Amino acid sequence: MQQPNSSVRFDAVTVRYPGTDRNAVDGVTLEIPHGSFTVLLGPSGCGKSTLLRTVNRLVVPVSGSVYVGGSDVASLDPVALRRRIGYVIQAVGLFPHFTVAQNIGVVPSLLRWNAERTAARVDELLALVNLDPDRYRARYPRELSGGEAQRVGVARAIAAEPELLLMDEPFGAVDAIVRSSLQDEISAIARRVRATILFVTHDVDEALRLADRIVVMRAGRVEQYGTPLDLLARPASPYVADLLQTRDVVRRLGLLRVRDAMRPPAGDSDGSIAADASLRDALNQFLSGAQRLGVREAQTQTGILEFDDVRRALRA
Amino acid sequence: MSYLWTHLPLIAQLTGEHVRLVLCGLAIALAAALPLGVAAARKPALETPMLAAAGAVYTIPSLALLALAVQYAGLGFWSVVAVLAAYAQFVLIRAVTTALASIPARHAEAAEGLGMTAAQRFFRVEVPLAMPVFLGGLRVATVALIAIATLGGYVGAGGLGTEIFYGLSRQYPEQTLAGSIPAALLAIAADAAFRFWERGVRLRVTE
């Protein structure tokens, strides 16, 4: 990538698999900004994985174009393109005859990094995904739990410092507790590596937890594209409202107090709210443009509240 | 069994010839079956006719095949090698196609998605992962060729078959056994060695 730009643009992308009579992806146009964490959300068969796979040319559209960093991927060498793009799949797909270190070092070795640089990078990545390098680098995939294997899968995908990371239901096959810690880790990693992340899931909670932006898909089309706040507060259709169970969410917010979600006061705020107001009231203020609310209790500011705090309260 | 013990040097020499026949037959068989099998695995349209042709050869009795080979290559070593190579095609081609089909899709997808070229995917991922199943086929082929190579005694190609056919024509069972027992032991030893190798390779690619 010449310019440090890994935005992704889909321009009227249509995919139809041979032997089927409907489009798996049907005229999707989208702009995914550089550096965002965008989740493609929808039920199985809605085309979200197919759309993702057009980005690294594992799937070729029948019409339309996909641009990565401004270049049409159809004009790029697929092998070189894929080496610049990290890719994580639900089935993990670690190579069973390679050690953990060799698996993580696959792309660096394809890019002909020297041995020391690769080894150092492997240790750095193992530490990043919370696996002790000394204990794990010489292991084989059969000696890993499901959660450990997917950590290695993530490390392998980001080994060569891709500016774009594609994740296809990466945590779908691990149990709920492990999934939750993997989600925390991927958020932390996303902030550190500052790559653009495209993340496919059918899990609404996962989407709300991780995304800056959510693309809701249905039958190959984009139903709604917006921030989690947009989707919760202004679902564009009954389908989106049902999928996100927005009525439930709003009702739950009505039962939760600002006091229980706020953090200690720090920095500026652009609005204020009472500590015993409901989070639904807070949501209304965020909807009208507030970013950061000062929380008042008996005339003094006792805390601050951001939309992320509301999101966190929903998960608790 | 006194014949066997008094003719040990001869039996050793014939065993050596026998192994040479089998190894030559296998080498030529592999040179044909590996590319054919990979082509069949890549293009399913090729697989059926290819296996049908190799299967037809496989059903011809090996003695009849040898008679045919002698028409073209004359008596001796190369006729037998040609029969062995032809006979092994069916088992080996099918071993290659089933071995490649046994690789889980996730490994192929990961290899492609990470940016391996077709050649890198084949040699770094597909070949190692296909090995256990392929070795099973190679084992079956080798054991069969050890048995069929005894026909070499019939057409002057040497090997343990020499003792078997002499013993039969002279109605001297001890001489027949001096050929057939080492041939059987050779087959058993090859089978055991391949199973050992297979197990090692399988362990390496287990998830």
Q: What is the pLDDT of residue A300?
A: 85
**CATH number of the domain to which B145 belongs:** 1.10.3720.10
Rounded Cα gap, residues B113 and B125, in angstroms: 13
Contact A82 B112 (CB under 8 A): yes
C-alpha triplet A184, A186, A190: angle, nearest 5°? 120
- Beta-strand (E) ranges in A90-218? 164-168, 196-201, 213-218
Residue B120 touches partner A, C-beta closer than 8 Å:
yes
Question: Could you tell me if A138 and A226 lie in one domain?
Answer: yes
Question: Mind listing the pLDDT tens digit for each residue in A153-198?
Answer: 999 999 999 999 999 999 988 888 888 888 888 888 888 888 899 9
Confidence of residue A228 (pLDDT cuts 50, 70, 90): confident
Q: Which domain holds residue B70?
A: 2-205
Residue type, A291: Q
Task: Evaluate whether residue A218 is within a structural domain.
Answer: yes
Question: Could you tell me if A271 and A213 lie in one domain?
Answer: no
Stretch B19-33: mean pLDDT, rounded?
A: 97
Structure tokens at A203: 């899990």
Cβ atoms of A170 and A207 within 8 Å: the answer is no
Question: Could you tell me if A200 and A304 lie in one domain?
Answer: no
Tell me the HSE value of B144 on the side-chain side, using a 13 A CA sphere: 22
Which residues of chain A have a CB within 8 Å of the CB of B110?
A: 87, 89, 92-95
Task: Evaluate whether residue A61 is within a structural domain.
Answer: yes
Q: What is the ipTM of this complex?
A: 0.83
For A:46-85, CB contacts with B below 8 A are: 56, 58, 79-84
Which of residues A243, A278, A297 is at a domain's end?
A243
Closest by CA position to A61, among listed A22, A109, A13: A13
Q: pTM of the prediction?
A: 0.82
Q: What is the pLDDT of residue A1?
A: 42
Rounded Cα gap, residues A102 and A104, in angstroms: 5
- What φ, ψ does residue B145 adopt, rounded to 5°? -65, -35
Task: Evaluate whether residue A1 is within a structural domain.
Answer: no
Q: How many domains does chain A have?
A: 2
Check pLDDT > 60 for residue A2.
no
Please give the residue of chain B at the shortest CA–CA distance from A157. B114
**CATH number of the domain to which A277 belongs:** 3.90.1280.20
Q: How many domains does chain B have?
A: 1
Task: Evaluate whether residue A126 is within a structural domain.
Answer: yes
Question: Could you tell me if A170 and A24 lie in one domain?
Answer: yes
Which of B110, B115, B204 comes nearest A97 by C-beta? Answer: B204
Question: Mind listing the pLDDT tens digit for each residue in A229-248?
Answer: 888 888 899 999 988 887 77
Check pLDDT > 50 for residue B81.
yes
- Tell me the C-alpha to C-alpha distance, in Å, between residue A72 and each of A2, A8, A65, A76, B111: 14, 10, 7, 7, 23
Please give the residue of chain B at the shortest CA–CA distance from A158. B114
Question: Mind listing the pLDDT tens digit for each residue in A137-160?
Answer: 999 999 999 889 999 999 999 999
Stretch B28-56: mean pLDDT, rounded?
A: 94
Q: What is the pLDDT of residue A167?
A: 95
Q: Which domain holds residue A267?
A: 248-315
Contact B112 A94 (CB under 8 A): no
- Judging by beta carbons within 10 Å of its beta carbon (0-12, 13-18, 19+), is residue B105 exposed, middle or buried? exposed
Which residues of chain A have a CB within 8 Å of the CB of B107?
A: 93, 95-96
Question: Mind listing the pLDDT tens digit for each residue in B88-126?
Answer: 999 999 999 999 999 998 999 999 999 999 999 999 999
Which residues of chain B have a CB within 8 Å of the CB of A56?
A: 113
Task: Evaluate whether residue A2 is within a structural domain.
Answer: no
Question: Could you tell me if A266 and A127 lie in one domain?
Answer: no
Q: What is the pLDDT of residue A237?
A: 93
Of the two residues A205 and B87, the one the predictor is more confident about is: B87
Residue B54 touches partner A, C-beta closer than 8 Å:
no
Nearest-CA distance from A214 to chain B in Å?
24
- Tell me the C-alpha to C-alpha distance, in Å, between residue A38 and each of A21, A131, B10: 29, 26, 77
Alpha carbon distance, N-terminus to C-terminus of chain A: 40
Confidence of residue B79 (pLDDT cuts 50, 70, 90): very high
Contact B106 A89 (CB under 8 A): yes
Task: Evaluate whether residue A304 is within a structural domain.
Answer: yes
**CATH number of the domain to which A148 belongs:** 3.40.50.300
Of the two residues B24 and B153, the one the predictor is more confident about is: B24
Question: Could you tell me if A256 and A147 lie in one domain?
Answer: no
Q: What is the pLDDT of residue A311?
A: 82
What is the helix (H) or strand (E) element at residue B133, kind and residue range? Answer: helix B127-148
Nearest-CA distance from A204 to chain B in Å?
25
Task: Evaluate whether residue A45 is within a structural domain.
Answer: yes
Q: What is the pLDDT of residue A17?
A: 93
> Please, what is the angle between helix B161-169 and helix B8-42, to 10°?
120
Q: What is the pLDDT of residue A316?
A: 62
Which of residues A223, A243, A263 is at a domain's end?
A243
Rounded Cα gap, residues A87 and A165, in angstroms: 6
Which of residues A181, A211, A243 is at a domain's end?
A243
Question: Could you tell me if A151 and A126 lie in one domain?
Answer: yes
